[in-house]
Amino acid sequence: MAVPVGNALFGDNYLSHAKGWKSWLFTLDHKRIGVMYLVSILASFLLGGVFALLIRMELWTPQRTIMDAQTYNQMFTLHGAAMIFLFIIPGIPAALGNFVLPLMLGAKDVAFPRLNLLSYYLWVVGALLALVSIITGAVDTGWTFYTPYSTTTNTSVISMTLGAFILGFSSIFTGINFIVSIHKLRPPSMTWFKMPLFLWGLYGTAIIQILATPVLGITLLLLIAERALGVGIFDPALGGDPVLFQHFFWFYSHPAVYIMILPAMGVISELVSTFSHRHIFGYRFIAMSSIAIAIISFLVWGHHMFVSGQSNLASLIFSILTFLVAIPSAVKVFNWVATMYKGEVELATPMLYALAFLFLFGIGGLTGLFLGALATDVHLTDTYFVVAHFHYTMFGGTAIAFFGGLFYWWPKITGRLYRETWSRVAAFLIFIGFNTTFLAQFIMGAQGMPRRYYNYLPEFAPYHRVSTIGAFLLAIGFVMAAGVLLHSLYAGAPAPANPWGAATLEWQTTSPPPHDNFKTQPSPGDPYDVDRWVFDRSAGGYVLAASAAGGGNA
């Protein structure tokens, strides 16, 4: 079997396959759509990050620092909305997943390439509507759009919710595409339990995207109808029930946090196995725990509403169900650690992100138990403890895994290697900056600092200052990471086909891959049989053990 080992940067690849801006804007190639998503999503991350820094600067002093209260309310709303709807939810599936999923299947494309492009443009339209809302007076409701405030505030709620509605469609179409691709484009020899775990993660994600997002869609439509027409479904003055909005909203938005974390866990499964140079431990447990998380995710939304006035019995049941999530999550963590045990752990940049994920997600998960328990939650509701908790899971979990995945697949996407030393320094800075920012928030939250407040009691000032300093450290880390990646684009060494020694199929084609993904159809085997791959100095990367003696380009 001829497995290409070389670099195709200067030969035929998907980047050089067609020229001109039209070849990008109208492309049906999943790899190019993935790259367009990647650029757009990183731009949103930058935007959301700038909002975050402005928030942290404002909180440097207990009184007004740089902006008035109304602007501050808009800033944290935009930070949340941009980060969640534009960055975290589509981040791993739409950008990395789009690029990697067909490659991992050994397929030429996703099942519905035109739908894939449509979902990208829907994302763009949704993002533009969000931008329109920023220009026309922003939104100050928080990203949750709780009624009745969201139906009475005079900020531009309609354009923002319409944007989120359209982003939901984009998400649904990606989900349909992924499910059908995994069902119908999987080669016959790749059985369900021979699939890479990243695909299991994406599959679980797609199920949630399909089952939960339509409910957000109707919720946002109702909110728009409420504002535009006054239908009164959520308006107590007209007989409606504002708590129903919370139920609807969290019926989507709690599963949505698993839309965020499941693909991240898939990325981590790939990283841990590859950089421990060891077969993944407990494959079936990791695979099935993704599905278990997807199922449980639909049964726990009420834990966002312990103080909303829902019945005590409902709260009790939601609390118990919430604890159940810890089981499949811990199954994954233990299996990752067991994979590393007695492996040859290589501290390459993606692995540093994976280790950071284990540490940060561990803290995020454990602090979730305090919030899932009814008695402590009443004390901690709407404090910075909650803010710190969900940043540890969303940022420390999903965003860190996204960047781990980005550094992992970067050589495949661009055909270039980046400078390891500087990217490791950047990863380290991000880790330190993150913990500085959010550990301080755990402490002040437990002491009673409420979230979303513009002014605060002076005794909280030291914690806020530590947190702000951490945020800037974090920003420096990301600027450095961006610098490393941009530098590699024009000065990076050409990447070999398999720089890390991974056994999944995307590494069995050239870097970057050709337009049709594979010159010779790969034959899928065990995706974690990393022992068959040995480092070959002449190729600069890993080659199949059998062809190592021959070396060179195939």
Partner 1 sequence: MHSAESHVAHHFPHAKAQVEAGKLGMWIFLATEILLFGGLFCAYAVYRANHPEIFVYAHHFLNKILGGINTVVLICSSFTMAWAVRAAQLSQQDKLVRLLAVTIFCGFVFLGIKYVEYEHKWKEGLLWGKRYKPVHQELTKPKDVPPPKPLPWVNPEEQSTLPPPAVPPQGLSPEVKGFSQEGVVPQNVQLFFSVYFLMTGLHGLHVVAGMVVLFWVLLRARRGQFSSAYFTPVDLAGLYWHLVDLIWIYLFPLLYLIH
Measured CA to CA, the distance from residue 174 to residue 263 in angstroms comes to: 13
Does 148 bind partner 1 (CB under 8 A)? Our answer is: no
Subset of residues 487 to 546 that bind partner 1, contact rule: CB under 8 A: 516
Nearest-approach distance from CB 231 to partner 1, in angstroms: 4
Binding mask 294-313 for partner 1 (x = CB under 8 A): --------------------
Residue among 313, 298, 138, 153 nearest 223 (CA): 153
Residues 6+ apart with CB under 8 A from 320: none
| Residue 106 near residue 505 (C-beta atoms within 8 A) | yes
Residue selected from 26, 69, 184, 307 as contacting partner 1 according to rule CB under 8 A: 184
Q: Rule CB under 8 A: is residue 236 a binding residue for partner 1?
A: yes
- Residue of 551, 545, 538 lying closest to 501 (CA atoms): 545
Q: Which is nearer to partner 1, 217 or 492 (CB)?
A: 217
Cβ proximity to partner 1: between 210 and 326 the closer is 210
Assess 20 for contact with partner 1 (CB under 8 A): no
Residue 109 makes contact with partner 1 by CB under 8 A: yes
Q: What minimum distance in Å lies between the beta carbon of 224 and partner 1?
A: 11
C-beta closer to partner 1: residue 31 or 389? 31
Q: Considering only residues 149 through 178, tell me which ones interact with partner 1, judged by CB under 8 A.
A: 172, 175-177
Q: Does position 219 bind partner 1 by CB under 8 A?
A: yes
Structure tokens at 500: 């890390």
Binding-site member from 24, 60, 112, 422 for partner 1 (CB under 8 A) = 112
Q: Which two tokens stand for residue 11?
A: 């030969």
Q: Which of 354, 329, 361 is nearest to 407 (CA)?
A: 354
Whether residue 4 has a cis bond before it, omega within 30° of 0: no
* Least distance in angstroms from the C-beta of 222 to partner 1: 7
Least CB distance to partner 1 at residue 20 (A): 21
Q: How many residues does the chain have?
A: 554
Spatial contact of 496 and 540, defined as CB atoms under 8 Å apart: yes
> How far is residue 204's CA from residue 199's CA, in Å, rounded to a whole number?
9
Q: Is 476 in the site for partner 1 (CB under 8 A)?
A: no
CB 49 within 8 A of CB 475: yes
Q: Which of 58, 140, 235, 270 binds partner 1 (CB under 8 A)?
A: 235
Q: Which residues are CB-contacts of 203 (< 8 A; sequence separation ≥ 6)?
A: 178, 179, 182, 290, 291
> Which of residues 185 and 326 has its CB atom nearest to partner 1 in the complex?
185
- Compare residues 108 and 419 and give the one whose CB is closer to partner 1: 108
Where does this chain touch partner 1 (CB under 8 A) — which range of 194-202, 214-222, 264-272, 455-463?
Answer: 214-222
Longest dimension (CA), the chain: 79
Q: Does 17 bind partner 1 (CB under 8 A)?
A: no
Among 135, 229, 313, 549, binds partner 1 (CB under 8 A): 229
Q: State how far Cα 66 lies from the chain centre.
A: 31
Task: Name the token pair of 484.
Answer: 């490393």
Pair 83, 48: CB distance under 8 Å: yes
Query: Considering beta carbons, is residue 118 or 469 the nearer one to partner 1?
Result: 118
- Region near partner 1 per CB under 8 A, out of 136-144, 236-244, 324-332, 529-537: 236-244
Is residue 378 at the binding interface for partner 1, with CB under 8 A as the rule? no
Q: What is the Rg, in whole angstroms, of the alpha carbon atoms belonging to the chain?
A: 23
Which of 68, 241, 420, 531 is the binder for partner 1 (CB under 8 A)?
A: 241
Q: Residue 438's closest CA among 490, 361, 340? A: 361
Stretch that binds partner 1, among 212-220, 336-344, 397-405, 429-437 (CB under 8 A): 212-220
Classify each residue of 265-287 as buried b or exposed e, where b means 16 or more C-beta atoms within 10 Å of its C-beta: bbbbbbbbbbbbbbbbbbbebbb
Q: Which is nearer to partner 1, 163 or 492 (CB)?
A: 163
Q: How many residues belong to the site for partner 1 (CB under 8 A)?
A: 45
Distance between CA atoms of residues 223 and 317, nearest Å: 28
Binding site for partner 1 (CB under 8 A): 102, 107-113, 115, 172, 175-177, 179-180, 183-185, 210-211, 213-215, 217-219, 221-222, 225-226, 229-233, 235-241, 244, 248, 516
